[in-house]
Amino acid sequence: MKIMKNLRHFKPQSLLILALALALSACEDNDSDTDPNTYTIPDTYTFSDDEGNNTVSYQGQIDRLNQLSEMNDLMDEATTGTIDAQDLKDMYANTGDDGNGNFSFTSSKQLKNKTFGAGVDASTQEMFENFMDSLAANSESFDQTAAEGVAGIASSGSGNYLVSANGIEYKQLIEKGLMGAVFYYQAVSYYLSDAKIGEGVDNESPSDPEAGKYYTAMEHHWDEAFGYFGVPVDFPATLTDRFWGKYTNSRDEAGLMSYDKSVNNAMMDAFIAGRAAVSNDDTDAKNENIRIIRETWELISAAQAIDYFEGAQANFGSDNAKFLHELSEAWAFTNTLKYSPEETRKITNEKVDHILNDVIGDNFWEVTSQDLSDAIDEIKTVYGL
């Protein structure tokens, strides 16, 4: 196995092995690998190789989800005391592998270097770091009541939201924003892209069996996309209370459909069937399920944005706290649409920027009910909702 392990680093050799393996398998049992009817699609997201070794792995994604959860915990503290922006930035960049002591666990993974544009264009990373500065600055006003032009706490019943002088709840822009610029972007636009899941990606040799990595590169990339979706392997039988699993279920309960299925099943079935297709070299089924995942996920974010805009509208003039909170949520779910892949995206960046900058603007206290209707109408028109 040592030879296999070494060879996987070297493309020409891999190609030789691949070619010979293909030639041999083609002569022996050409039909078994490519006929979609001869492989089983499991009920849950569990896959193993011919020897029964588990081939599913996405610890890096689990780590990042947990990192964002712990960032949320810290951001929640800003409603009852001041917080330091540097702590959030250290968590975002995972300084010292434990967010400079702010995480309860260590990991080599980080959110910052997976944010849209990382390594090429730092503007999105800077946007989030600016949000963190704003949140920390607002936390200085944790003992004040928010009003137009005054940062502080906006309360509704038991809900307390820290908002800026312009009524923006930065916690939502950061949490939901990173759900978009990291989780969604990495899954649909990176791991499900041709570069990571297309024909040029190794789907023959196990990555490193000695280290327990029985998956091929292509299988692993698919798993990593699934990891960012962040649901239990038997979703929706088992649900989750955070991130995309939570909001997918929320839209599912509201009756959102995609490809003739409720969105929980549309997403989960496509992730499972697509993974089975990858493991069985069924390129057509793989590509079809990529399309379903991409289109459904974008639809979920759009529908969630609409739902929050509608919530903001329902609370307009009667419950300022909820109005500002839901508008902040809506902002982030709308912004997420920018990270959709070019191949399937329904909305242009210009449209998203228009909604966020022209229709909504940067002072949420000045948003009118008509503005909310306009935002809702524009998104509904694009998505046929």
Partner 1 sequence: MDYSTLSISHTKTDKEPGAKLPGTLRLISRFFFILTVCLFTITSCEDEETNTGSNEFDRSTMLANYAHNIIIPNYATLNNAVDSLNKAINNFTSSPDTVKLQQLREAWYNVAMNWQHCSTFEFGPASDVLLRASMNTFPTNVDQINDNISWGSYNLETAGNIDAIGLPALDYLINGVGEDDESIVSMYMNNDQSENRKQYLADLAAQMQSKVSAVYNDWVTDGGNYQKMFIASDGMDIGSSVGLLVNELNFDFEIIKNAKIGIPLGEKTLGSPLPQHVEAFYHKQSVDFAVEHIKAIDNIFNGRSRAGIDSTGLDDNLNALDAKHSSGIPLAEAINNQFDDCISAVESIPDPLSEAVENNSTVVDAAHTELKKQVVLLKTDLPSTLSVLITYQDNDGD
Exposed/middle/buried for 14, CB within 10 Å: 0-12, 13-18, 19+? middle
Among 50, 51, 199, 260, binds partner 1 (CB under 8 A): 199
Place of tokens 């951001």: 75
Interaction residues for partner 1, span 92-131 (CB under 8 A): 113-114, 116-117, 119-121
Question: Whole-number minimum distance, CB 284 to partner 1, in Å?
Answer: 5
Q: Does 357 contact partner 1 by CB under 8 A?
A: no
Kindly give, in sequence order, each residue whose CB lies less than 8 Å from that of residue 162, ignoring residues fewer than 6 positions away.
78, 79, 135, 138, 139, 141, 142, 146, 151, 152, 153, 154, 169, 170, 171
Rounded to the nearest 10 degrees, how much is the dihedral formed by the CA atoms of 372, 375, 377, 382? -160
Residue pair 178/128 in contact (Cβ under 8 Å)? The answer is: yes
Residue 62 touches partner 1, criterion: CB under 8 A: no
Q: What is the C-alpha to C-alpha distance for residues 241 and 299, in angstroms, rounded to an integer?
A: 20
Residue 205 class from Cβ within 10 Å (0-12 exposed, 13-18 middle, 19+ buried)? middle
Characterise 52 by phi-psi region: left (phi > 0), alpha (psi -120 to 50), beta (else).
left
Residues written for the chain = 385
Under the binding rule (CB under 8 A), the answer on residue 37 touching partner 1 is no
User: Which of 67, 189, 280, 336 touches partner 1 by CB under 8 A?
Assistant: 189
Is residue 211 at the binding interface for partner 1, with CB under 8 A as the rule?
no
Among 54, 349, 368, 369, binds partner 1 (CB under 8 A): 349
Q: Where are the alpha helices (DSSP H) in 122-259?
A: 123-139, 170-178, 194-197, 217-229, 243-253
Instruction: Based on the shown chain and the rule CB under 8 A, indicate whether residue 230 belongs to the binding site for partner 1.
Output: no
The answer to the question of residue 22 lying near partner 1 (CB under 8 A) is: yes
How far apart CA 195 and CA 41 sit, in angstroms, is 25
* Contacting partner 1 within 67-96 (CB under 8 A): none
27 part of the interface to partner 1, by CB under 8 A: yes
CB 85 → partner 1: shortest distance, Å? 20
- Member of 3, 9, 40, 317 binding partner 1 (CB under 8 A): 9
Q: Which is nearer to partner 1, 30 or 44 (CB)?
A: 30
Report in angstroms how near the CB of residue 101 gets to partner 1 at its nearest. Answer: 24
Under the criterion CB under 8 A, does residue 32 sit at the interface with partner 1?
Answer: no
Amino acid type, 199: E
Number of shown-chain residues binding partner 1 (CB under 8 A): 39
Instruction: Name which position in 341, 359, 360, 371 contacts partner 1 (CB under 8 A).
Output: 341
For the chain, give me the number of helices (H) and strands (E)? 14, 4
Site string for partner 1, 300-339 (x = CB under 8 A): --------------------------------------xx
- Give the contacts of 159 (CB within 8 A, at least 6 positions apart): 321, 322, 325
In whole angstroms, what is the distance from residue 91 CA to residue 108 CA?
12
Residue 297 C-beta: closest distance to partner 1, Å: 14
Q: Is 284 in the site for partner 1 (CB under 8 A)?
A: yes
From candidates 66, 107, 265, 283, binder to partner 1 by CB under 8 A: 283
Nearer to partner 1, 46 or 113 (CB): 113
Residue 1 vs 120, nearer CB to partner 1 = 120
Give 53 or 193: the residue with its C-beta nearer to partner 1: 193
Rule CB under 8 A: say whether 275 interacts with partner 1.
no
C-alpha 124/C-alpha 92 separation (Å) is 13
The amino acid at residue 85 is A
Should residue 340 be labelled a site residue for partner 1 when binding is judged by CB under 8 A? yes
Q: Which of 11, 101, 149, 361 binds partner 1 (CB under 8 A)?
A: 11
Place of tokens 């609409």: 306
List of residues contacting partner 1 (CB under 8 A): 9-13, 15-16, 18-20, 22-24, 26-27, 30-31, 34, 60, 113-114, 116-117, 119-121, 189, 199, 220, 224, 283-284, 338-342, 345, 349
